[in-house]
Amino acid sequence: MAKLWSGRLHSGLDAAAEDFNASIRVDARMVREDIEGSVAHAAMLGACGILTPEDAALIRKTLNEIRAEIEAGTLAVDPAAEDVHTFVEQELTARIGEAGKRLHTARSRNDQVATDFRMHLRGEIAGVRELAKKLVAALCDKAEVYADAILPGYTHLQRAQPVSFGHHLMAYAFMLRRDCSRLSDCARRMNESPLGSGALAGTTFPIDRAITAGLLGFDAPCRNSMDGVSDRDFAVELLSALSILMMHLSRFSEEIILWCSWEFKFVELSDAFSTGSSIMPQKKNPDIAELVRGKTGRVYGDLVTLLTLLKGLPLAYNKDMQEDKEAVFDALDTVKASLTVFSPMVETMRPLPEKMRAAAAGGFINATDCADYLVSKGAAFRDAYRTTGDLVAYCIAKGLTLETLPLAAYRTFDPRFGEDVFEAIRLENCLALRKSAGGPAKESVLGQVEEMRAWLEG
């Protein structure tokens, strides 16, 4: 197959070099965007009088036919083509002859691929956001049911204060909402059209870049032609947003893995999202959560790949940039696959509130509430804090808890302790009284769920 650049060179590429140079295996997934960009380009050339109305109409008609055949599965992208642009142009020329050869007037593969890439990523971002929102919806449903299921909250992996399982889940819902916001910001910033930038220096033809930008759904053309063909900030920004999203999924996966262990046993994963052992028949492994945790490193690697690829490139286009799409597509595929399995894993996960409550009862997580009780009786917080610390040390030495410590013993530490201290430190009350905005009280959690559902519907 003849190369689009074969005029200057005559000897042809070495077979290994040709395979090494080709990008069709990666960029074939942008064939729809390549055709849409070419249709818009032909329309603009016709509108500007650079193509005859007849040629412009024929090119557009034939390109749409090619796209329809590809979508119907009756035409396959030729794996022998150098890249997706070559395939489309040569398929077009094979069908309509000379008119097809005129399509590439006033453009380069450099601005063409930059345009295709941005268009493709716009659609991919929308898909990732929808998958993330589906997971948020699953978290909201679960959080609503378990809004008052007492769970020990941790710092330093030490039991710290009482929260609810619903409150814990909503923390991840808010992380995912920020992920969606970052993806939206990325899509907004990338929505400028490189088409018409040419190889790097624009064109001498009297084109109208606003026409193609509008037809392709861009907000405006890129303002500098060299930046238009060499910018990949949008791809780096996307990989950064995807890496943060995967970091959130990985943190959640780590907690699910801990919660499933016999040491915690706060949740039971569905058999549909667990595996067994080839040698230990008792095992039920949280492999899906572990894989998500592991695949996070892969997405981080894609980000580092692109940053490293770009760090030493002079303006404008360099062949190194052909490597950008594989890293971005790999990250997108990994994130989409992870989100696709994560939502049903959460939906089918069975919390074990009695196990959570038992763990919460054994870790002195109501100690802060005990100190707050003394403050309400007139003690300064620092004095109340010290007194409660002494109480905890005494309980540990005696094998007691704050709930089982006799009132007489309390009063030896501070005479302000009364019978009502036992209500103040009861875990249900400790949770219910944490009504401050964003807190774990049931009404607060339900308010967070309501806010999140309003965002999902917005």
pLDDT tens track for 202-214: 999 999 999 999 9
Judge whether residue 3 has pLDDT over 60: no
pLDDT band of 344, cuts 50, 70, 90: very high
Tell me the pLDDT band of 376, cut-offs 50, 70 and 90: very high
39: closest CA among 89, 76, 79, 84? Answer: 89
Output the pTM of the full model. Answer: 0.92
Q: 9: how many CB neighbours lie within 10 A of its CB?
A: 9
CA 115/CA 217 separation, integer angstroms:
11
Instruction: Dump pLDDT digits (tens) for 102-160.
Output: 999 999 999 999 999 999 999 999 999 999 999 999 999 999 999 999 999 999 999 99
CA separation, residue 397 to residues 217, 360, 391 (Å)? 70, 19, 10
**Dist CA 402 CA 407 (whole Å):** 10
**What percent of the chain stands above pLDDT 90?**
92
Instruction: Report the DSSP pairing between strands 350-351 and 267-268.
Output: antiparallel
| Helix H or strand E segment including 137 | helix 109-145
With H, G, I as helix, E, B as strand and everything else as coil, classify residue 44.
Answer: helix
Q: Is the peptide bond before 143 cis (omega within 30 degrees of 0)?
A: no
Judge contact between 347 and 138, C-beta under 8 A: yes
Indicate whether 361 pLDDT > 50.
yes
Q: Is the pLDDT of residue 362 over 90?
A: no
The residue among 5 and 294 whose pLDDT is bigger is: 294
How do residues 263-314 score in pLDDT, each as one tens digit?
Answer: 999 999 999 999 988 888 888 999 999 999 999 999 999 999 999 999 999 9
Q: Which residues are part of the catalytic machinery? A: 156, 277
* For helices 442-457 and 109-145, angle between their N-to-C axes, nearest 10 degrees: 150
Pairing status of strand 192-193 against strand 158-164 = unpaired
Which residues are bridge partners to 192 per DSSP? 220
Task: State residue 16's pLDDT score.
Answer: 83
Per-residue pLDDT, 15: 78
List pLDDT tens digits, range 63-82.
999 999 999 999 999 999 99
Mean local confidence (pLDDT), 339-353: 98
* Confidence (pLDDT) at 10: 60
Is the bond leading into 316 cis (omega within 30 degrees of zero)?
A: yes
**Which among 130, 139, 242, 145 is positioned nearest to 452, based on CA atoms?**
139
Retrieve residue 1's tokens.
């197959």
DSSP 286-326: -HHHHHHHHHHHHHHHHHHHHHHHHTTPPSS--GGGGGHHH
Pair 303, 331: CB distance under 8 Å? yes
Please, which pLDDT band fits residue 25 given cuts at 50, 70 and 90?
Answer: very high
C-alpha distances in angstroms, 229 versus 113, 198, 220, 318? 8, 8, 15, 10
In 3D space, the residue among 407, 367, 346 whose CA is nearest the CA of residue 159 turns out to be 367
Helices (H) and strands (E) in the chain, counts: 20, 6
Q: Which domains does the chain have, with CATH numbers?
A: 15-105 (1.10.275.10), 110-196+220-358 (1.20.200.10), 361-457 (1.10.40.30)
Please give the pLDDT value at position 281: 82
**pLDDT at residue 409 is higher than 50:** yes
Cα–Cα dist 131/180, whole Å: 10
Helices 287-310 and 233-260: crossing angle in degrees, nearest 10, is: 160
Summarised one tens digit per residue, pLDDT across range 410-443 is 999 999 999 999 999 999 999 999 999 999 999 9
Beta bridge partners of 267: 351
CB distance 426 to 404 below 8 Å: no
Cross-strand partners of 351: 267
151 and 162 Cβ atoms separated by less than 8 Å: yes
φ, ψ for residue 160, nearest 5 deg: -120, -65
DSSP 439: -
Question: pLDDT value at position 1?
Answer: 54
Q: Dihedral (C-alpha) 125, 126, 131, 137: value to the nearest 10 degrees?
A: 130
Q: What is the mean pLDDT of residues 178-187?
A: 98
